[in-house]
Amino acid sequence: MSTSVLDFDPAEWRRSIEVNLMSFYEVCRHVIPMMKRSGYGRVVNMTSIAGKEGSPFRSAYSAAKAGVIAFTKSLAKELADTNIRVNAIAPATIDTEILLQLSPDDVRALIQKSPMKRLGTVEEVAALALWLCSESCSFSTGATFDVSGGRAVY
């Protein structure tokens, strides 16, 4: 859904922040006490390249996803002296059913933004997520990992 900042329904903007930012806070604040009691945890938060770039006409989503990136850093630092690691993944455009909401021209424009000139696959995102969920991810925390085909520049 694409709407300019000035045309956005304020209630919808707020709802987007609820779904795309508050949900991370709510789930983490409930689940992490369990991990602290057991002394182990791996947390992976799905953000988006929109949170780094600020996508036009997707201001609420972009703001929420930027919030997830910063929230991930804060939480990771608070837990750094435990065996709980907290990281985020920032995909660019991935080939999922969400793309069906876009016109073919819009999808082509998104592909053109990619240095690899293709969409990412859910398998490519899942492969990274699995590593971040594993005990092998021991010295990385508070980080946001790109899956962007080279599009992300920082």
Partner 1 sequence: MHFTPGSRSLLAARGGIGRSIAERLRDAGATVFVWDLHEPGFDGVSFAKVDVSVAAQIERALARVAEASGTVDILVTTPASSA
Query: Does position 126 bind partner 1 by CB under 8 A?
Result: yes
Query: Does position 28 bind partner 1 by CB under 8 A?
Result: yes
Query: Of 5, 19, 109, 116, which one interacts with partner 1 (CB under 8 A)?
Result: 19
Shortest distance in whole angstroms from residue 31 CB to partner 1: 5
Measure the CA–CA gap between 144 and 121, rounded to whole angstroms. 18
Q: How many residues bind partner 1 (CB under 8 A)?
A: 48
- Of 20, 137, 33, nearest to 79 by C-alpha is 33
Query: Does position 119 bind partner 1 by CB under 8 A?
Result: no
- Residue nearer to partner 1 on the CB measure, 89 or 151: 89
Q: What is the DSSP string of 103-117?
A: -HHHHHHHHHTSTT-
Query: Does position 5 bind partner 1 by CB under 8 A?
Result: no
* Contact of 138 with 86, CB cutoff 8 Å: no
Measure the CA–CA gap between 76 and 139, rounded to whole angstroms. 11
Query: Does position 30 bind partner 1 by CB under 8 A?
Result: yes
Residue 84 amino acid letter: I
Measure the CA–CA gap between 20 and 93, rounded to whole angstroms. 17
Number of CB atoms found within 10 A of residue 16's CB:
19
Query: Does position 91 bind partner 1 by CB under 8 A?
Result: yes
- Of 42, 45, 47, 46, nearest to 79 by C-alpha is 42
Q: Considering only residues 62-81, where is the footprint of partner 1 by CB under 8 A?
A: none
Query: Does position 1 bind partner 1 by CB under 8 A?
Result: yes
Measure the CA–CA gap between 37 and 113, rounded to whole angstroms. 45
Query: Does position 109 bind partner 1 by CB under 8 A?
Result: no
**Residues within the interface to partner 1 (CB under 8 A):** 1, 12, 15-16, 18-20, 22-24, 26-28, 30-32, 34-35, 37-38, 40-46, 58, 60-61, 91, 94, 96-98, 101, 122-123, 125-127, 129-131, 133-136
